[in-house]
Amino acid sequence: MKFVKSQLELIDFYIINTKYKFVDPIENNIDVRKMFSEYEMDIDFMPKIRENNQYFVYIKISINEIDNPLPGYSLFVEGVCIFSFNDDEVIDEKIKAEYIWSSGISIAINNLRNYISTQTSYFPFGKFNLPAVDLTSLINEKKILMESNKPT
């Protein structure tokens, strides 16, 4: 199939905050995959429009970052993706918002996924792969939360 370039352009991605803690397991024979699959995970994000036709998606992921973490890794990573739109075309603001809320958030999650995978490859239990995310459910939940927090 022919590659069609998106009107949404990724300008850059930055890690703006990160935290890592190794939680030493008590037992020696650990099933690492099983341990990783039991981690509590949370994703939050916020798209924001900035000056100069730039759109930011702030995103954070916490993995096993709870009061009593399971053995292995406790991680927190926060990043920001900066996007713009092709200036050669006139794009309606509603269409831009749709791009940010679908493609932009997906790109931001994947950038953090790659960062987490690369960083943890140096850690004692090896690489942690962030599981696939139900993006539709995540976006719908965020929109409901934002609506409920709007002043009336």
pLDDT tens, the chain, 152 aa long: 898 888 899 999 999 999 999 998 887 788 888 889 999 999 999 998 777 789 999 999 999 999 999 999 999 999 999 999 977 778 888 888 899 998 999 999 999 999 999 999 999 999 999 999 999 999 999 989 888 887 65
Position 151 scores a pLDDT of 65
Give the phi and the psi of residue 121 in degrees, each rounded to 5.
-65, -20
Residues near 101 by Cβ (< 8 Å), separated by ≥ 6?
47, 139
DSSP 99-135: HIIIIIHHHHHHHHHHHHHHHHTTSTT---PPPP--H
Class of domain 8-148: alpha beta
What is residue 5's DSSP assignment?
-
Position 84 scores a pLDDT of 92
Which residue bears the tokens 């309606």? 92
Position 3 scores a pLDDT of 86
Q: What pTM was estimated for this model as a whole?
A: 0.89
Give the phi and the psi of residue 10 in degrees, each rounded to 5.
-80, 115
CA distance 41 to 64: 6
